[in-house]
């Protein structure tokens, strides 16, 4: 009571000092009458919106409405068995605080350890087949999927392909009439096309983001089958396995990974083209395994010096080596050829050729366009099935000796000698020379030389043969074929003047 009286007196004095009547200070706050205040402008802004843009303004909402029901949330659980001891001092083999050793020493107990991860998937059949990434479900002991309407189902793995990061799972319950994505044509995508990503980033279900195709044909590892679509639509952890659709709502890719330094979205995402994913999906469903085409060649990229040496203006895939009695060998492809297309699809680099060949059906004939000695020609090739690690017969390993006064030739920044038993070997490399920059090493065997784009490769066994060809070298870059550790490769060198 005393505090309230003190406050009232202080308030009264403050009112008197400030020239405000006590009644005004103590009165309740007066609110305006409802409806007496006009909120917002009376007229809509006069913005000139073209009819085309007005029609476009609802496109993404229409796409989302159509695609969201076909994308599911995937929770995969890995179950491990671990051994647990109740008394940590049992490890030392003596009782703790003088207890009975027979009571203290206990057998380890087996317990389950559960680790769960989240991802996305796309329904591709009305009876429960779902397309996703291998890394989302591979090795999972339990898989649960949640539909857009929050219905939950158990699922099982149909098959996985770790080399392309594709997996197929299936709902174990009897289901029908599920919403299904329409499979589009990823080959028709162009950089700059609008796309939308749909998935469940960080567990936020049915999230949609929009962007454009940034680039095509991306890859991060040369030992895997990658042909990524690069996009700038935001994707994050949990988006993996989700849908990438075009402006017509057609599924054109499966979102897979991001390039990041922070762990989150930084503007670069990757998706597997649907044509590649569909081919793998169908093989996993119908056969349980993925069988890729095999040509039997070793391939390499081409730099500008190699292009100049071969007289080419457009890039292709250089054939380093053709394995004997394999499909390419039987078709007439030879080392030094440049593959410009396979099965009608342009191949500008090793990754292109690798991915096109992987999609070919074993036993069928396909055209392969090559350039040899400056002339373009088309051959027919019949691929076989790629094995786990196909090996070509390695050439005979030659033992080298060092004679007291060996014959040698200095050429393009390296010293070449005749090896014991025949052939030419590199015995020295000069620092900062063209050969050193081309990664030629001591011990490599020089096998062949091409001195002009319109000349064929000349096989070399002696230094006399090499000297003869050196006399034909001009200002134009040359191509040399080497052998190293049972493998063959080409380098292009330009004479330094």
How far apart (Å, rounded) are the C-alpha atoms in residues 254 and 144?
Answer: 19
Question: What 3-state class would DSSP assign to 62?
Answer: helix
Same domain, 376 and 453: no
Please count the other Cβ atoms lying within 10 Å of the Cβ belonging to residue 349: 18
C-alpha to C-alpha distance for 26 and 9, rounded to whole angstroms: 12
**Residues 303 and 233 grouped into a single domain:** no
Q: Are residues 311 and 271 in the same domain?
A: no
* Contact (Cβ atoms closer than 8 angstroms) between residue 196 and residue 207: no
Q: Structure tokens of 456?
A: 């064929």
Is residue 220 situated within a structural domain? yes
Looking at the fold, whether 214 and 278 belong to one and the same domain comes out as yes
- pLDDT for 340 equals 96
H or E element in which residue 304 lies: helix 304-310
Length of the chain: 497
Please count the other Cβ atoms lying within 10 Å of the Cβ belonging to residue 116: 12
Which tokens belong to 349? Answer: 């680099």
State the pLDDT confidence band at 97, using cuts at 50, 70 and 90. low
Whole-angstrom distance, CA of residue 409 vs CA of residue 480: 15
What is the mean predicted confidence (pLDDT) over 64-80? 91
Confidence grade of residue 389 (pLDDT, cut at 50, 70, 90): very low
User: Considering 73, 120, 161, 165, which one is annotated as catalytic?
Assistant: 165
Same domain? 259 vs 309:
no
Active site residue 57: no
The last residue of one of the domains, among 320, 351, 385, is 385
Structural domain harbouring 280: 186-286
Final residue of a structural domain among 265, 286, 307? 286
Q: What is the CATH number of the domain that holds 477?
A: 2.30.42.10
DSSP 292: -
Q: Is the same domain home to 260 and 326?
A: no
Look at residues 241, 269, 286 and tell me which one is the last residue of a structural domain. Answer: 286
Closest alpha carbon to 241 in 276, 285, 197: 197
Asked if 231 and 265 touch (Cβ cutoff 8 Å), the reply is: no
CATH number at residue 246: 2.40.10.10
Ranking 61-75, 97-111, 175-189 by mean pLDDT, the lowest is: 97-111
In a domain, 104, yes or no: no
In this structure, is residue 37 part of a structural domain? no
Whether the predicted pLDDT of 402 surpasses 60: no
135 is catalytic: yes
Q: Which residue has the higher pLDDT, 433 or 379?
A: 379
Residue 337 tokens, joined: 């050829």
Which among 120, 134, 135, 341 is annotated as catalytic? Answer: 135
The answer to whether residues 262 and 282 belong to one domain is yes
Residue 154 lies in a domain: no
Q: Compute φ and ψ for 22, nearest 5 degrees.
A: -60, -35
Catalytic choice (186, 205, 240, 341):
240
* Overall number of domains in the chain: 3
| Any domain includes 129 | no
Residue 66 bears catalytic tag: no
- What's the pLDDT tens digit per position in 291-311? 889 999 989 889 898 998 899
83 within some domain: no
Question: In this structure, is residue 56 part of a structural domain?
Answer: no
Distance (Å, whole) CA 380 – CA 326 = 13
Residue 301 lies in a domain: yes
Same domain as 280, residue 213: yes
Return the structure tokens found at 167. 């997996």
Q: What is the pLDDT of residues 210-261, one digit of tens each?
A: 999 999 988 876 656 788 999 999 999 899 999 999 999 999 999 998 887 7
Quick one: 355 and 311 in the same domain? yes
Q: Are residues 271 and 192 in the same domain?
A: yes
Q: Do 268 and 300 fall into the same domain?
A: no
Q: Are residues 314 and 359 in the same domain?
A: yes
């Amino acid at each position: 009571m005393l505090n309230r009286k003190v406050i009232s007196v202080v308030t009264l004095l403050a009112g008197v000092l400030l020239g405000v009547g006590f009644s005004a200070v103590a009165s309740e706050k007066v609110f305006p009458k409802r409806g007496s205040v006009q909120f917002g402008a009376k007229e809509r802004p006069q913005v000139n919106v073209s009819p085309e843009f007005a029609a476009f303004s609802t496109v993404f909402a229409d796409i989302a409405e159509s695609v969201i029901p076909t994308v599911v949330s995937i929770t995969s659980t890995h179950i491990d068995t671990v051994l647990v001891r109740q008394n940590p001092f049992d490890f030392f083999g003596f009782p703790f605080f003088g207890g009975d050793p027979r009571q203290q020493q206990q057998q380890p107990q087996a317990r389950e350890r559960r680790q769960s991860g989240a991802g996305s998937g796309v329904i591709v059949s009305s009876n429960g087949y779902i397309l996703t990434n291998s890394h989302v479900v591979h090795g999972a002991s339990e898989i649960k999927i949640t539909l857009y309407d929050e219905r939950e189902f158990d699922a099982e793995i149909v098959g996985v392909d770790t080399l392309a990061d594709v997996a197929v799972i299936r709902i174990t319950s009897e289901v029908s009439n599920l919403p299904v994505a329409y499979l589009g044509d990823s080959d028709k995508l162009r950089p700059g096309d609008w796309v939308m990503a749909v998935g469940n980033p960080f567990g936020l279900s049915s999230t949609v983001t929009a962007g454009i195709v940034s680039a095509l044909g991306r890859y991060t590892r040369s030992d895997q089958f990658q042909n990524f679509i690069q996009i700038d639509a935001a994707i994050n952890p949990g988006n993996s396995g989700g849908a990438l659709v075009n402006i017509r709502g057609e599924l054109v890719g499966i979102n897979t990974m991001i390039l990041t330094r922070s762990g989150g979205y930084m503007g670069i995402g990757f998706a597997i083209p649907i044509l590649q994913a569909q081919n793998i999906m169908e093989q996993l469903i119908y056969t349980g395994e993925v069988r890729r085409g095999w040509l039997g060649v070793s391939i390499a990229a081409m730099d500008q010096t190699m292009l100049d040496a071969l007289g080419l203006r457009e890039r292709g895939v250089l054939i380093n080596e053709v394995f004997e009695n394999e499909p390419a060998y039987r078709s007439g492809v030879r080392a030094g050829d440049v593959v410009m297309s396979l099965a009608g699809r342009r191949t500008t680099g090793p990754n292109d050729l690798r991915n096109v060949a992987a999609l070919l059906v074993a036993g069928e004939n396909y055209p392969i366009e090559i350039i040899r000695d400056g002339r373009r020609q088309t051959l027919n090739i019949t691929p076989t099935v790629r094995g786990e690690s196909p090996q070509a017969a390695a050439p005979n390993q030659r033992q080298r000796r060092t004679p007291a006064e060996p014959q040698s030739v200095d050429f393009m920044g390296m010293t070449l000698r005749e090896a014991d038993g025949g052939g030419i070997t590199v015995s020295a490399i000069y620092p900062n020379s063209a050969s050193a920059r081309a990664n030629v090493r001591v011990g490599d065997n020089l096998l062949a030389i091409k001195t002009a784009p319109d000349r064929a490769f000349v096989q070399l066994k002696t230094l006399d043969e090499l000297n003869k060809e050196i006399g034909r070298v001009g200002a134009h870059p040359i191509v040399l074929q080497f052998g190293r550790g049972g493998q063959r490769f080409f380098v292009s060198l330009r004479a330094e003047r």
